[in-house]
Amino acid sequence: MPKADLTLNKDPITQFQSWFQDAIQTGMKYPDAMTLATASAKGAPSARTVLYKGMNKEGLKFFTNYNSRKSKELRANPRAAVLFYWPQLNRQIRIEGRIKKLSSQESDEYWLTRPSESRINAAASPQSSQISSRAILLKRVKDLLLKFGATNIPRPKHWGGYCLIPNKFEFWVEGQFRLHDRFQYRKQKGKWQQVRLAP
């Protein structure tokens, strides 16, 4: 027999935060991992996993190298989609929206919370650029350590954050024999409208 309808919050952001806390409480590795999909100006898609780093008043935050492929695509086509999949909970969430660059202050604040090793490696790596060997990266790390020390690496201008400002959410719960539950929220005239989708 099909199970009774799920009860979801009328606000998808509140619902997202509730499910995200559930994922954290499972003890799984990387509950904050999300697949980020972008597209070039010509519509060629690409996807990769990044880490969700909380919300501000507009949407979901993540951080990256501004010279990376994802950033170049976001400059050309400032829209994106993300996917959270938590198999331990039999749940996934899809979110779509437009992209906005975070302020330097927000990027600086997050940079200072990162482990020093992560700061050094982020500053040293010319992300997405072709390199001839790993030795080049190790030398860049060594040079930065000599210049700034292990704990004083400044945030490079080419590294910082983005915000995904959502206009669509989809909450998915795995059902028996593919009879899944899917609920979509769309923002219309400033208000969220919820509908059920067929699996």
Residue 46 bridge partners (DSSP): 38
pLDDT of residue 3: 54
pLDDT at 1 over 60: no
Range 84-113 average pLDDT: 97
Give the strand pairing for 181-188 and 191-197. Answer: antiparallel
Set 69, 178, 186, 196: catalytic member: 178
Q: Any idea which residue has 């980020």 for tokens?
A: 36
**How far is it, in rounded angstroms, from Cα 16 to Cα 36?**
16
pLDDT at 147 over 70: yes
Tell me, yes or no, if 94 is annotated catalytic.
no
Q: Any idea which residue has 């060594």 for tokens?
A: 142
pLDDT at 68 over 60: yes
pLDDT at 126 over 50: yes
pLDDT at 129 over 80: yes
pTM given for the model: 0.91
pLDDT at 4 over 80: no
